[in-house]
Amino acid sequence: MRGSIKKYQNNNMAYVEQADPHTLISLIMQHILGNLAAAKGAIDRKDIESRNKMLGKVIGLIGELQNSLDMEKGGEISTNLYNLYAYMISQVNKANMKNDGAPLTEVIMLISEIKSGWDGIPMDIRQQYKK
């Protein structure tokens, strides 16, 4: 895995240190979803400080996903994911600037779809990419 994922791994709980790269990506996506939900709640409560904090975390975590892509080996799939992540970041920024949860709903749906596919990768394929 690339350096950014290792940085994420080093900055989080002890059990994450033992996680394989596949699990780390899944955890990052889960954290994105949690922070998006919290940000939507903050928007509803008009809690600007919490909204900014949560959305800042989301942008950082999506950036980690972008940085984890292997652009050489991943080819068109990696390029498309990178661009999709960039779109998500723009939607998060839009939600933050307009104090509007609608763009976050779209990002939640996109991340959920990607996470579902990621988590559905068969174990034998995952084993090929262990540390």
Looking at the chain, the whole-number percentage of residues with pLDDT higher than 70 is 83
- Spatial neighbors of 33 by CB under 8 A, at least 6 apart, are 108, 111, 112, 115
Mean pLDDT of the chain: 88
Residue 8, pLDDT > 80, answer no
Q: Which structural domains are found in the chain, ordered by start?
A: 21-117 (1.20.120.340)
In this prediction, residue 23 has a pLDDT band, given cuts at 50, 70 and 90, of: confident
DSSP state letters, 78-99: HHHHHHHHHHHHHHHHHHHHHT
Decide if pLDDT at 38 tops 90: yes
pLDDT at residue 10 tops 70: no
| pLDDT score for 16 | 55
Whole-number Å distance between alpha carbons of 77 and 73: 9
The residue behind tokens 């970041």 is 89
Q: What is the model's pLDDT at position 84?
A: 98
Tokens of 35: 């922070």
Considering the entire predicted model, what is its pTM?
0.83
- Token pair for 90: 């723009």
Q: Under a CB-based contact definition with an 8 Å cutoff, are residues 38 and 131 in contact?
A: no
Higher pLDDT, 130 or 40: 40
Question: Residue 39 and residue 36: Cα distance in Å, rounded?
Answer: 5
